[in-house]
């Protein structure tokens, strides 16, 4: 609370305008997500991608030598049953890691051939 003795009433409108002008910047800074380090691709694959791509819901991606650019495009925009994953779901650094991981992956050998 502002005490009249410490704050001249004539300056109150100016103080309110100044506070109102600063509010959008403060709100935007508070609402902006903190940048974090990209998540390791195997972690994302195991926790997100494998739920569909290793259970028959989506196609097998490992060992297909898919270009990273293609993987990024499909993840961002979706394709048929594949949902789109916007920036709010996966950041660019993590998506780059996953795209390179999928591109370099190999299809595991069947258990009988190990």
Annotated catalytic, 81? yes
Region 23-30: mean pLDDT is 48
Q: Which of 5, 25, 32, 81 is catalytic?
A: 81
79 phi/psi in degrees, rounded to 5: -160, 120
Cβ 62 vs Cβ 102: under 8 Å: yes
Task: Give the CATH number of domain 41-113.
Answer: 1.10.760.10
Distance CA 58, CA 81 (A): 8
Annotated catalytic, 16? no
Alpha helices by DSSP H, listed for the chain, are: 12-31, 41-44, 50-53, 68-77, 92-104
Q: Which of 82, 84, 103, 104 is catalytic?
A: 82
Q: If you write DSSP's letter for every residue of 66-82 in order, what string do you get?
A: --HHHHHHHHHH-BTTB
Q: What is the per-residue pLDDT across 44-72, written as a single tens digit (0 to 9) for each?
A: 999 999 999 999 999 999 999 999 999 99
């Amino acid at each position: 609370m502002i005490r009249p003795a410490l704050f001249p009433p004539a300056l109150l409108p100016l103080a309110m305008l100044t506070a109102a002008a600063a509010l959008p910047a403060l709100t935007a800074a508070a609402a902006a997500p903190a940048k974090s380090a990209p998540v390791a691709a195997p972690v994302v694959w195991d926790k997100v991608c494998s739920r569909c791509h290793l259970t028959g819901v989506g196609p097998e991606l490992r060992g297909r030598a898919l270009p990273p650019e293609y993987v990024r495009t499909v993840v961002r925009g979706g394709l048929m049953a594949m949902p789109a994953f916007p920036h709010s779901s996966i950041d660019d650094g993590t998506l780059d890691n996953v795209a390179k991981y999928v591109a370099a992956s190999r299809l595991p050998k069947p258990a009988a051939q190990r």
